[in-house]
Structure 1
Amino acid sequence: MLGDMSAHPMFPLGMTLLPGEPLSLQVFEPRYRTMIADCTSADGDNTFGVVLIARGHEVGGGEERVDVGTLAFIEECSPRPDGRYHLSCVGTERFRVRSWLPDDPYPKADIELWPSPQTDDLNLDLQPVVHRLDSLAEALMRIRGIAVGDRLIEPLDNDETVETKVYGTAVRLGLGPADRLRILSAPTTAERIDALCQALDDLIAVIEFSGLPSN
């Protein structure tokens, strides 16, 4: 059960975590060690929010943060003799930040979960994504000589949604934090597909450009 969403622990990072994505962290800053101790205590819910740092650094504070993120659920927490924590987490639910609270000592925010509409997956077609992934595989082979042995996207499993497939494809392709943020921030699954297609178009264009002869 999720705890108080009005003052939820937050961990700004230099990455955009997506739902379903695994996350490993070495926690060494004292303020975040305190946060993990709170999250895993009897009063905690084993979750913290992950948002992308828009400007600044992970260490030391004072960074600018985006207002859309993903909850990370702590699956395994291993304390180290020097006081650090090694965490194995997974992204779960998307959220929006309503307001940031003062760091005390770690970042906290008033957040609200931001699920996609219940009927969002109905009648959606992944074919535009499949077409671009095929073009990506062809470009990788033609320009860089890289053969993509496995299919870049598989058919939906019985218990899988179009939304989870889009997130999983973005993770598998190793898209950058800005592309991931656009995908995560898309209000609907249809718009999320469009954001993924745009990211793939940009990636294909970069590969094609890299194959042009230099003057």
Structure 2
Amino acid sequence: MFPLGTVLFPHMPLRLRVFEQRYLVMLSTLLQSDAAEFGVVLIERGQEVGGGEKRFGLGTVAEITSLGTQDGFIGLLAEGRQRIRIDEWLDDDPHPRAEVSPVPELTWDEQWRAPLANAERAVRRSLAVSSEFSELTWPADIGIQGDPVATAWQLAGVAPLGPLDQVGLLAATSAEELLVGLTELCDGISADLSAPWPDDA
């Protein structure tokens, strides 16, 4: 398990710079196994470095797609796969570990095509508006590809949301719930940032 300060969604990339000994040990173990995968969960309280953090009980499997070394750390690229729920945290020695269960995959119904389009418009608008106030990871015109469920997760992954909103979306039990929640959050961001400044008087 790899607790982080960010949420990993299915079908989204993850870039990490690994330098802590506990995670170097974890990578060494993973590369000797058949599946180069690890779980990613959001840190509820605490820091990414040093251990002792409190973690959320919902996460995502990350599949390693490439590794490289640079300036004393390992650069890792992975992609989000199956969602997982933490059944029990195990001893952190030599690295964070847990017993997990898979969370059912979201299924698609064509009746949700309109909510998908609404969500995409809301996400792109919130990205465009937010970019006027801060530098963002993802541009408003970012390309989204894949089947409708993958598209929904990618839209959630690029939206300019905080980690608590993200982990709430990660817990969605249907594609419709994910899309409606995403649209509401992004519409709220756009409305807040587009509102006129109050008069100083």
Q: TM-score, normalised by structure 1?
A: 0.77
**Structure 1 stretch displaced more, 123-132 or 26-35:** 123-132
Per-residue deviation, 1:132: 5.8
Kindly state the Cα deviation for residue 130 of structure 1 after the two structures are TM-superposed: 3.2
CA contact (8 A) 1:79 1:85 kept: yes
CA deviation map 1:171-199 (0-9, x unaligned): 23343222221111111212111221222
After TM superposition, the structure 1 = structure 2 runs for residues 71-86 of structure 1, keeping only pairs within 5 Å, are 71-80=61-70, 82=72, 84-86=73-75
Cα distance in 1 for residues equivalent to 2:179 and 2:142: 15
Structure 1 counterpart of 2:174, from 171, 181, 188: 188
Match of 1:123 among 110, 125, 132: 110
The one of 161, 176, 190 aligned to 1:175 = 161
Structural mapping, 1:129-168, within 5 Å: 129-131=116-118, 134=121, 137=125, 160-168=146-154
User: For 2:114 and 2:89, how far apart are their aligned partners in 1?
Assistant: 39
Q: Which segment is superposed worse, 123-132 or 64-73?
A: 123-132
Runs of 5+ consecutive residues of structure 1 not aligned to the other structure: 1-9
The structure having more radius of gyration, on CA atoms, is: 1
Q: What secondary structure is seen at the aligned counterpart in 2 of 1:124?
A: helix
**Partner-residue secondary structure (3-state), 2:170:** helix
Find the aligned partners of 1:110 and 1:205 in 2 and give their Cα distance: 41
SS in 1 for 2:64: strand
2:91 to 102, 112, 118: 102
Name the CA distance, whole Å, in 2 between partners of 1:56 and 1:139: 28
Q: Are residue 28 (structure 1) and residue 15 (structure 2) matched?
A: no
Which secondary structure state, in structure 2, belongs to the residue aligned with residue 125 of structure 1? helix
Amino acid aligned to 2:125 = A
Which residue, out of 94, 102, 106, partners 1:113? 102
Aligned residue for 1:48? 38
Partners of 1:28 and 1:153 in 2: CA distance: 32
Tell me, in whole angstroms, the C-alpha distance in 1 between the residues paired with 2:93 and 2:157: 32
Contact between 1:121 and 1:161, CA under 8 Å: does it hold in 2?
no
- Aligned CA RMSD, in angstroms, stands at 2.8
Alpha-carbon distance in structure 2 between the residues aligned to 1:32 and 1:134: 39
User: Which of 46, 71, 78 is equivalent to 1:89?
Assistant: 78
Q: What is the CA–CA distance in structure 1 between the aligned matches of 2:20 and 2:121, rounded to whole Å?
A: 43
TM-score between the two structures when normalised by the length of structure 2: 0.82
